[in-house]
Structure 1
């Protein structure tokens, strides 16, 4: 018998709500009676409870559509019971960081050798480069951080990598084994070739290289600048969020790189209307979303505020400015307290699943805050079943 879906969803919520690892959350279920009650785990089931590795397998089994379905069930319950108001749409974007070290050109070359080394060991192939020489270069790189000493070291290491990559390309074409292993090797080869081309572009003097590789473990991560003083550049994916005025998170969208905010506004507004089943009275964003087209989206919304007080009537300006300030607060809470600060799943699909799980935990936490502050109407509580 598999673990009931009711228990699995409860474990995922606790995991995100308390920012725990897979191993820790399973141990917490075994030890904490409150979590056992929340996840509907009986005493008999504790003796044969799941292994923490099952959670990773279940995420892959659910996929993005499965997690979206779970989020939709929870959100629709809050919407139908009128816990969530459809008064305002607050939109802003931020960076969802990936779990990678700060990338440097020469550091990525050494990382590329590590990736080729893993393939060589898996297929029991002797190294086709001088490993002692490479280790000596790595030692010099870590001891000498001056720019004048790094540049010649970079050229020397790049020369060895170029020769090693040509040999690796020939090796990959003759590999034997499972289709899955060969596919991984081919994907690594494509990534290394792209990385080599980008190095050549940089040596040619190009400063802005599109889709620049910053990690071999996170190939979808990109360098993103959001106009902040520190850090001036972050590495991950773009995260587009929308809230209502209460602070409930309505939509999350993940993008590779940094798309233009002006192009994101219409689709986010459409998703907001679709999820809330209607157009809001206020649509609020910063000047990054400002355009003539966006000032008319969503249709049927009388007050659209995109960073300038002149966008709305004088009596509505105070509300819009406060709502715009509140958006920054909602995002700050999401990033610092609700897990949106760093994605621990790999790839853009992993970032999407991570965002959805964090969104579920965020909205449940917001519901608990309103419930504890007695800001939810008795009618809504009766519909949910929390009031007799």
Structure 2
């Protein structure tokens, strides 16, 4: 149940028992005036039911608490403690006056997060950021000048691929404005580095726990199935404790753990015919489903002598996480969600989040179209790394008069006295485009 009675407070109306008034220039007072609380409440109510239950906390209290937590980098418990001690934070979450008691229990933060999915956060973010960005576009941005045509005798391919030759085939009614900076990264998940041997050992231990629960639920005095857990543990440690075990030893250990796990899963199938799996805790039943799929994947890779399979499970507790191939020197493979963002005048917009790997270069056209939908115009230039510079993207940018950063596709041009100055200017422009792209790296950091 929800009561629509929350109104935007004036900082002068906020009651302070020890006298005085809130400062108008305080960051939380100013921030409260920038958030569309009506939209926040509209999205918040969609996750509630009005036919039964106690009244829920206000939308402002829920969203404001989440914003305080993320902005200050606090835990749920520390967030509630800071709100209890700070009158400005209490004003920010919509209280009528300062109070010494905690406005809610820290466990409520879990439900607040569930009531604001990523789609709702994106709508609120757009509502906050779009208006000021549009004002900046009108005041500061000037369309970029195209480069001079290529020198005589240069191949037409270079002229086609060059970013500066992207003249619109049909002039737009509104000139392009602004710089769109796009990039993608992998957000690391909080999981241990997955190895096949460690995953199989964890799966075996959970399977043994499931066998213990199912056997204890049987009414007869049947003998408990043998699991060889001590022997399996000993053989696992014999390899896991080695600093640099060889490939043959690792493969042999994986085969042993696969056979131990196969025996345990067979015992679980037999016990499930006598005892319902409903006796398992929900979390453990979920783990059983994950372990079954993990065994299938590991067995397939073991038999085929490969180290790759589709939708590979790298964590039993978080089976949705996938390995993301990055190709970097520091971390060739990362584990977590891949996120694609765009940066416009300091405002960051989340374009896509996916647990599965994707080619961010194919997302550029959609990013530009969302820019057009948000701000009413196409960007004057797009700044991205080389993975975005495909022929389809270049063709699209030429059609709409958008400059796409980066060097031309194909072989470098031959330097001649006629084109020396033009190539020098092009290199300077490419360097400037790379400098303009630097701010997006700070957003990831």
Please confirm whether the aligned pair reaches a TM-score higher than 0.5, indicating the same fold: yes
Which of 122, 138, 147 is residue 68 of structure 1 equivalent to? 122
Change (3 A) 1:318 1:249: farther
Structure number, greater radius of gyration: 2
Unaligned runs of 5+ in 1: 337-388
Bigger fraction of residues in helix: 1
Q: 1:283 aligns with which of 378, 382, 385?
A: 382
Indicate which of 315, 321, 334 corresponds to 1:234: 334
* Residue in structure 2 matched with residue 111 of structure 1 by the alignment: 202
In the TM superposition, what are the counterparts of 1:163-242 in structure 2 within 5 Å?
163-169=263-269, 171=271, 175=276, 177=278, 187-203=286-302, 204-242=304-342
Q: Could you tell me how far apart the structure 1 residues matched to 2:212 and 2:351 are? A: 41
Displacement of 1:94 in angstroms is: 0.9
Give the distance between the partners of 1:188 and 1:265, measured in 2 at CA. 38
1:141-194 Cα deviation digits (max 9, x unpaired): 44334324444333222210111123334556753549x966x66654443232
CA deviation profile, 1:77-115 (whole Å, cap 9, x unmatched): 434554897501111111111111100111111222344
For residue 256 of structure 2, what is the aligned residue in structure 1?
A: 156
Note closer, same or farther for the CA distance 1:172–1:319 as it changes in structure 2 (3 Å cut). Answer: farther
Of residues 103-112 and 218-227 in structure 1, the stretch that sits farther from structure 2 once superposed is 218-227
Partner SS, residue 62 of structure 1: coil
Task: Tell me the TM-score normalized by structure 2.
Answer: 0.64
Q: Distance in 2 between matches of 1:253 and 1:128?
A: 48
Contact 1:222–1:236, Cα closer than 8 Å, also in 2? yes
Match 1:140 to one of 235, 238, 243: 238
Distance 1:128 1:301, change over 3 A: farther
Q: Normalised by the size of structure 1, how large is the TM-score?
A: 0.73
**What is the 5 A alignment of 1:1-388?**
1-43=55-97, 45-79=99-133, 82=136, 87-116=178-207, 119=210, 129-148=227-246, 149-169=249-269, 171=271, 175=276, 177=278, 187-203=286-302, 204-244=304-344, 246-297=345-396, 301-308=400-407, 318=428, 321-331=431-441, 333-336=442-445
> Shift of residue 22 of structure 1?
1.5
How many residue pairs get aligned? The number is 331
8 A Cα contact 2:338 2:357, kept in partner: yes
Paired with 2:212 and 2:119, the residues of 1 have a C-alpha distance of 36
* Higher RCO (CA-CA < 8 Å; seq separation 6+): 1
Runs of at least 5 residues in structure 2 that lack an aligned partner in the other structure = 1-54, 142-176, 218-223, 411-421
CA RMSD of aligned residues (A): 3.3
What residue in structure 2 maps to residue 366 of structure 1?
none
